[in-house]
Amino acid sequence: MLHGSLPTFSAQDNPAAFSPSLLTRFLTKTYLVTFNAWLVFFPSNLSYDWQMGSIPLVETIWDKRNLGSVFLFGGIGSIFITSRITVKVRERILLSVALVVLILPFLPASNLLVTVGFVVAERTLYIP
């Protein structure tokens, strides 16, 4: 459909992907993962369109939104470490499968591996 070319996006579609600062891109993308996780567990603030600055960029490490990112990635890391050091093989397998089922379907839409044309899209969150 695209005749062998990649889609092109603008700064309006995904402001974090077009920020000139590497720190701002990193902090905002990690916050967007946290925001997506929050929407999965507490879907009280849904929107059909999350672009054009609806979620402000995280430009400094002192932004309080970074605490959510630290807690989310710390929690996922602690679950991963627990799954690795659990003595029972059955529990290790169960935790590993749970992490894979949680994380793997979200990766293509997370904006971490490839640039996507949206900031947040609930349609990609609830499929898994």
In the prediction, which pLDDT does 2 show?
60
Domain layout of the chain by residue ranges:
15-125
Task: Give the count of beta carbons closer than 10 Å to the beta carbon of residue 13.
Answer: 17
74-111, pLDDT tens digit by residue? 998 887 787 778 767 888 888 888 878 877 877 776 77
Span of 13-22, 25-34, 43-52, 75-84 with lowest mean pLDDT = 43-52
Question: What's this model's pTM, rounded to 2 decimal places?
Answer: 0.75
What would the mean pLDDT of 54-77 be, rounded to a whole number? 89
CB crowding 69-101: b at 16 or more within 10 Å, else e: beebeeeeeeeeeebeeeeeeeeeeebeeeeee
pLDDT above 80 for 127 = no
Report whether 36 contacts 125 (CB < 8 A).
Answer: yes
Burial class of residue 127 (count of CB atoms within 10 Å of its CB; 0-12, 13-18, 19+): exposed
Cα(48)–Cα(11) distance, integer angstroms: 18
Using a pLDDT cut of 70, give the percent of the chain over it: 73
pLDDT above 60 for 128 = no
Report whether 16 contacts 50 (CB < 8 A).
Answer: no
11-21, pLDDT tens digit by residue? 666 777 777 78
pLDDT above 70 for 71 = yes
Burial class of residue 114 (count of CB atoms within 10 Å of its CB; 0-12, 13-18, 19+): exposed
Cα(16)–Cα(55) distance, integer angstroms: 10
